[in-house]
């Protein structure tokens, strides 16, 4: 029966076609009533057939939801054409011509937009939008154009549309109205077109079309009469929707569907249009740009939310929200707060709170702003909802305020206005999973159980992720077993992969391999009640990648070969991808630092060959990450030839990580020229260098195999100057180019010419863009302290002007190293008072156990400066305050410089002949006291320290103390007959200055016997390897002592022995410094 009915239907259609095409059939000469009679009869027949056809054909009904064409448009009735349409002067509207029939289009819409025929505004509007959508879909599929070219294409299409050139879909009778685009595209399609243009980064064309459409629809609403006119309310609604779509597209444009390597265009476009100024300008333009008589178009909550989405800074976002509150609160009924009339809704507040959680500032005060907004909402704003609390909890957790988040969660749980759901706990669980706070995550799960919330697989997966971050693999394995045994929880592949990741992070390859084996064999879990079927999970590529990331090279190679063999299976094919090879090669690199590097390198290269083989069959994408891992594997074993070869054979575009590996291995081998060549190639390709890149370049220049480069600071500086000349502006800051600037300043400072070295170093220091760091500032201050003459004034100026240094402590934010170099510069110029002022100004932070305010070397320089400036009291005070006030322990040099200062002070007082009465400070006693304290602190004095102490005693005539100091010296004790000191191995050579000072002290004290004994004992020990040979000063001091004691015969004997031993020459007359002729003894040596 169905077949017979179909045949009859076809025959009826064919007969009707013959009747219509018969020459005698024409309504040209028929009365008008016969045409309308046929029209209604035909319309009913066609409608009945069409409804039957639509019910039988689901595909046709899907493609034609609002209207449908003739069901047999491809049949013989396709040629039906009435020979004459009703004229426009008649009352019949040609848009009701029965070529299309409305299926479910409401009668109100048909009256508003004039029907849905092919020449109706709705069809023409949709056709214009479809033309743009087809272009975008074609480019999304083919990707034949670059981003800039595609944006230019969209701009040209919009330009043609606005210029009226696109008249394909316009009626012939509307040529005069083609300039008004609101007559050709409906408001809904106009908003869709605006969103489409913004989605594809054509922001200029989008704003141009939006403004033109809003202007035209405003003019259309003001026109009188006509079927195309629109009411002012509908025009304002269309303007509101158009500008809301435009603001949303500018505030947060989604990434373009066309993948392009020119990412810089997107960055410029985003920074140009995603700004607070432009968004507020568009909002004000929407409100006041298309109305008259002081009226404005009131935005809705979606418009305000779109504006706030484009403001990332939480402070600016909060200020704009307050502006909206003040501006639109007056629109409500005075004296009342109608929650339904306000447009600053809870969704608007949620947008600002979300910006607080995304804020990445150093102060970390975003969570405080979020809580402040919550208090404002509770006090005078819209009531917060579940999303509000969820965002605030996320903001607190993201900023590390987990205790505040937990306290707020307890407050929400006790509030009757909010019913806790899983949405409140998910943000906190995600943050715990991100940072590895597994203890807090377990507490949240227990709270969810107390609130009678059902634990889902996703919730437990987040807890397992927190355990994986914390490398708690045993706990993760226990949770997995509990989930398998729980009938309400169904562990999925994500669950197993997370547990495998926990095992990999803990480095437990055996546990990861065991779980992977169970997954291969099928994991079966039988609950105690037996109400659930077994759980069977098969491993995927993520599972293998997790196990490979903790395996040794041989095991990783075995797993990859096992994955490649799964191609033979009909089911469960798990082929390795690029991440698989990256993990395996990375494990080989880790093993090269522990085990045999040669074996690990061979396995890594074999893995790369497997990746090449699989890539030849288009199995994987041999991307830049595989090559970068291989290059760094070559870097680990120092094979620069393989690293360069891998870089050259890459078919994909290399990144900066690849070049960093090549530069690193070249720097290890001392190939500085090749390293610089690849850096310049990086710059030519437009790849951004990193801080590590410049650190490796500096290492390559410092470790150059060419001795002419490695031994010359000037040539090193010249090479680094060439690198600085090609640096981009963003690399000239200390965050990226800091190592290069530090090395450049240091090498310029170590150059041979002190005049030009300081100027070159200062030019390099001034080339830094932005604030300096501790390393660069310290290097420049070191140059100031090393040049001759010392640039102490420049050092103070640099320290005062660069007092904000990264990684520095204290109120002044000046590091210990920088302050020490500045103090040394002042001390070398004998400006010890300025140095003390710097320490008081910048060194008043608390003393730590690891390091003090300044270094020991800087305090030693201050002690020396005080000694040169005749201030031994300040020198001794600095020595006494080193451990208590400055936080550094004195060394041998500190004591030596202080004793030298005391010795110099004693000699000055002796030359002046001061005879002060009363208790006065005796500097020779201070010197001996410091020497005794050195021995008590187990600090071995040097020969210069002993010499200064003996010299101080000599200046004061304390011959007993001078001989006592000599007996303490390891080099003189054997010469003086000390048997204990004779047993010491390799004592330091004796110092002639100490011997002369001791004999001179005996001479001044009248102890000629002790002086003679000391002289004779020294001469008797001439065969000793550490013996000291007396000179004419020794003999002269002894002869003066004997002459004062009237021992002339003994003095003559000593003199003859000295002449015989060629220590002194006979007396000769010589001119002294005053020009007087005097009798002198002259040394023969």
Instruction: Report pLDDT digits (tens) over 579-602.
Output: 999 999 999 999 888 877 888 999
Judged against a pLDDT cut of 80, whether residue 714 lies above it is answered with: yes
How many other C-beta atoms lie within 10 A of the C-beta of residue 702? Answer: 17
Q: Which residues pair with 68 in a beta bridge?
A: 101
Residues 6 or more apart in contact with residue 449 via CB below 8 angstroms: 455
Give the number of residues written for the chain. 1085
Q: Which of 425, 411, 330 is nearest to 378 (CA)?
A: 411
- pLDDT value for 404: 87
Q: Is 887 left (phi over 0), alpha (psi -120 to 50) or beta?
A: left
Instruction: Name the helix (H) or strand (E) containing 1077.
Output: strand 1077-1083
Taking 50 as the threshold, does the pLDDT of residue 167 lie above it?
no
User: Rounded to whole angstroms, how far apart are CA atoms 702 and 597?
Assistant: 26
Task: Report the relative pairing of strands 101-102 and 1077-1083 from DSSP bridges.
Answer: unpaired
Confidence of residue 663 (pLDDT cuts 50, 70, 90): very high
Q: Are 515 and 474 in contact (CB under 8 A)?
A: no
pLDDT in tens, 278-328: 888 888 889 888 887 777 888 998 999 898 888 888 888 888 888 888 888
CA distance 655 to 659: 7
CA distances for 417 relative to 420, 423, 803, angstroms: 10, 16, 52
- Helix 438-450 vs helix 422-435: angle between axes, to the nearest 10 degrees? 170
- Are 874 and 831 in contact by the 8 Å Cβ rule? The answer is no
Residue in the block written with tokens 């391999």: 513
Global model pTM greater than 0.85 = no
DSSP 690: -
Whole-angstrom Cα distance, residue 252 to residue 496? 36
Closest CA to 440 of 486, 379, 393: 393
Cβ contacts of 881 within 8 Å, gap of 6 or more: none
Between 931 and 917, residue with greater pLDDT: 931
Neighbour-count burial of 1013, counting CB atoms closer than 10 A to its CB (0-12 exposed, 13-18 middle, 19+ buried):
middle
User: Buried b vs exposed e over 814-838: b needs ≥16 C-beta within 10 Å?
Assistant: bbbbbbbbbbbbbbbbbbbebbbeb
Q: Which ranges of 470-616 does DSSP label H, i.e. alpha helix?
A: 473-485, 493-506, 509-521, 541-548, 553-565, 578-592, 597-616
C-beta atoms surrounding 294 within 10 Å? 6
**Comparing 474-483, 499-508, 701-710, 751-760, which segment has the lowest mean pLDDT?**
751-760
Specify the pLDDT at position 117.
59
Mapped onto helix, strand or coil, the DSSP state of residue 1082 is strand
208 vs 153, 269, 273, 623, 771, CA distance in Å?
Answer: 15, 16, 14, 41, 42
pLDDT recorded at residue 412? 86
Mean per-residue pLDDT, 800-810: 60
Sorting pLDDT into bands at 50, 70 and 90, what band is 1024? low
Residues paired with residue 1069 on neighbouring β-strands, in sequence order: 1079
Show Cβ contacts of residue 171 under 8 Å, excluding neighbours closer than 6 positions: 119
CA atoms within 13 A on the CB side of 755: 0
Cβ(415)–Cβ(438) under 8 Å?
no
- Nearest-CA neighbor of 524 among 515, 516, 533? 533
C-beta of residue 210 within 8 angstroms of C-beta of residue 194: yes
Instruction: Kindly indicate the confidence band of residue 172, based on its pLDDT and cuts at 50, 70 and 90.
Output: very low
Q: What distance, in Å, lies between the first and last C-alpha atoms of the chain?
A: 143
CB 579 within 8 A of CB 546: no
Q: Which of 334-348, 855-869, 968-982 has the least mean pLDDT? A: 968-982
Pick the closest to residue 700 from 728, 678, 732 (CA basis): 678
Half-sphere exposure in the Cβ direction for 887 (13 Å, CA)? 16
Q: Two tokens at 162?
A: 């606005």
């Amino acid at each position: 029966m169905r077949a017979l009915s179909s045949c009859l239907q076809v025959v009826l259609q064919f007969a009707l076609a013959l009747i219509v095409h018969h020459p005698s059939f024409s309504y040209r000469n028929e009365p008008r009533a016969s045409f309308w009679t046929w029209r209604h009869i035909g319309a009913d027949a066609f409608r009945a057939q069409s409804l039957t056809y639509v019910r039988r054909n689901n595909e046709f009904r899907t493609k034609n939801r609002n209207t449908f064409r003739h069901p047999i448009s491809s049949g013989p009735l396709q040629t039906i054409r009435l020979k004459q349409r009703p004229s426009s002067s008649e009352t019949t509207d040609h848009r009701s011509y029965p070529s299309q029939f409305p299926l479910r289009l409401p009668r109100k819409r048909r009256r508003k937009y004039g029907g849905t025929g092919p020449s109706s505004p709705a069809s023409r509007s949709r056709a214009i939008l479809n033309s743009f959508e087809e272009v975008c879909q074609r480019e999304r599929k083919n990707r034949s154009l670059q981003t800039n070219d595609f944006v230019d294409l969209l701009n040209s299409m919009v330009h043609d549309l606005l210029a009226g050139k696109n008249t394909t879909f316009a009626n012939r009778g509307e040529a005069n109205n083609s300039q008004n685009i609101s007559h050709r595209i409906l408001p809904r399609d106009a908003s869709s077109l605006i969103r489409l243009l913004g989605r594809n980064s054509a922001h200029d064309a989008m704003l141009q079309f939006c403004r033109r459409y809003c202007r035209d629809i405003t003019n259309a609403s003001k026109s009188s009469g006509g079927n195309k006119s629109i009411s002012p309310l509908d025009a304002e609604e269309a303007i509101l929707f158009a500008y809301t779509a435009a603001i949303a597209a500018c505030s947060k444009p989604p990434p373009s569907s066309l993948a392009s390597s020119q990412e810089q265009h997107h960055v410029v476009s985003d920074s140009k249009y995603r700004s607070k100024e432009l968004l507020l300008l568009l909002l004000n333009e929407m409100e006041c740009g298309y109305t008259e008589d002081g009226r404005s178009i009131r935005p809705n909550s979606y418009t305000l939310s779109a504006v706030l989405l484009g403001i990332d800074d939480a402070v600016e976002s909060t200020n704009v929200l307050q502006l909206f509150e003040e501006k639109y609160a007056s629109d409500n009924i005075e004296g009342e707060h109608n929650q339904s009339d306000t447009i600053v809704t809870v969704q608007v507040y949620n947008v600002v709170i979300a910006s607080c959680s995304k804020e990445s500032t150093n102060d970390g005060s975003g969570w405080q702003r979020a809580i402040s907004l919550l208090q404002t909402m509770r006090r005078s704003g819209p009531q917060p909802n579940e999303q509000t609390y969820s965002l605030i909890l996320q903001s607190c957790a993201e900023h590390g305020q987990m205790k505040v988040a937990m306290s707020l969660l307890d407050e929400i749980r006790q509030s009757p206005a909010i019913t806790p759901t899983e949405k409140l706990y998910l943000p906190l669980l995600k943050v715990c999973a991100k940072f590895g706070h597994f203890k807090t995550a377990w507490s949240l799960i227990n709270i969810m159980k107390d609130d009678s919330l059902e634990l889902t697989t996703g919730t437990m997966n987040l807890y397992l992720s927190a355990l994986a971050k914390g490398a708690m693999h045993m706990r993760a394995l226990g949770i997995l077993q509990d989930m398998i045994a729980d009938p309400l929880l169904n562990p999925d592949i994500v669950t197993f992969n997370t547990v495998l990741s926990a095992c990999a992070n803990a480095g437990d390859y055996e546990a990861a391999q065991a779980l992977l084996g169970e997954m291969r064999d099928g994991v079966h879990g039988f609950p105690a009640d037996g109400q659930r079927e077994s759980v069977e999970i098969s491993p995927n590529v993520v599972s293998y990648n997790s196990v490979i990331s903790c395996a040794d090279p041989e095991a990783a190679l075995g797993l990859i070969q096992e994955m490649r063999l799964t191609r033979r299976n009909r089911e469960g094919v798990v082929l390795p991808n690029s991440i698989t090879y990256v993990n395996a090669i990375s494990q080989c690199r880790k093993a090269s630092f522990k085990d045999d590097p040669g074996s690990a390198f061979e396995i890594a290269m074999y893995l790369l060959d497997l990746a090449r083989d699989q890539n030849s069959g288009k199995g994987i994408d041999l991307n830049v990450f595989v090559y970068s891992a291989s290059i760094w594997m070559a870097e680990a074993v120092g094979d620069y030839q393989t690293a360069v070869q891998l870089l050259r054979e890459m078919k994909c575009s290399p990144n900066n990580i690849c070049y960093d590996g090549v530069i690193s291995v070249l720097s290890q081998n001392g190939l500085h020229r090749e390293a610089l060549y690849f850096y310049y190639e990086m710059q030519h390709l437009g790849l951004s260098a990193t801080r590590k890149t410049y650190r490796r370049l500096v290492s390559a220049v410092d470790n150059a195999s060419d001795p002419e480069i490695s031994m010359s600071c000037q040539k090193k500086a010249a090479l680094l100057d060439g690198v600085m000349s090609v640096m981009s502006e963003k690399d000239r800051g200390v965050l990226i180019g800091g190592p290069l600037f530090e090395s450049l300043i240091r090498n310029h400072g170590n150059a041979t010419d002190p005049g030009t070295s300081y100027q070159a170093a200062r030019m390099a220091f001034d080339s830094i863009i932005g604030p300096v760091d501790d390393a660069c500032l310290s290097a420049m201050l070191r140059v100031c302290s090393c040049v001759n003459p010392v640039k102490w004034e420049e050092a103070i100026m640099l320290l005062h002007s660069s007092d904000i240094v990264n990684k520095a402590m204290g109120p002044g934010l000046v590091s210990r190293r920088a302050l020490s170099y500045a103090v040394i510069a002042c001390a070398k110029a004998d400006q010890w008072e300025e140095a003390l002022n710097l320490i008081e100004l910048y060194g008043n932070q608390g003393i730590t156990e690891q390091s003090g305010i300044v270094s020991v070397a800087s305090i030693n320089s201050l002690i020396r400066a005080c000694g040169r400036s005749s201030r031994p009291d300040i020198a001794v005070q600095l020595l006494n305050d080193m451990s208590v006030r400055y936080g550094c322990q004195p060394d041998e040099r500190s004591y030596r410089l202080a004793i030298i200062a005391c010795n110099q002070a004693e000699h000055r007082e002796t030359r002046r002949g001061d005879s002060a009465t009363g208790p006065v400070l005796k500097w020779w006693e201070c010197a001996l006291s410091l020497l005794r304290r050195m021995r008590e602190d187990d600090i071995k004095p040097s020969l210069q320290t002993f010499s200064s102490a003996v010299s101080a005693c000599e200046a004061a005539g304390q011959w007993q103390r001078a001989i006592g100091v000599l007996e303490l010296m390891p080099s003189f004790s054997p010469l003086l007959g000390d048997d204990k000191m004779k047993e010491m191995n390799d004592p330091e050579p004796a110092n002639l200055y100490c011997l002369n000072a001791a004999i001179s002290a005996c001479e001044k004290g009248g102890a000629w016997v002790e002086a003679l004994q000391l002289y004779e004992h020294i001469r008797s020990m001439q065969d000793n390897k550490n013996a000291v040979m007396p000179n004419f000063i020794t003999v002269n001091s002894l002869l003066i002592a004997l002459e004062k004691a009237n021992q002339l015969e003994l003095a003559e004997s000593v003199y003859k022995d000295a002449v015989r031993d060629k220590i002194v020459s006979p007396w000769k007359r010589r001119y002294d410094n005053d020009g007087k002729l005097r009798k002198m003894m002259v040394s023969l040596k």
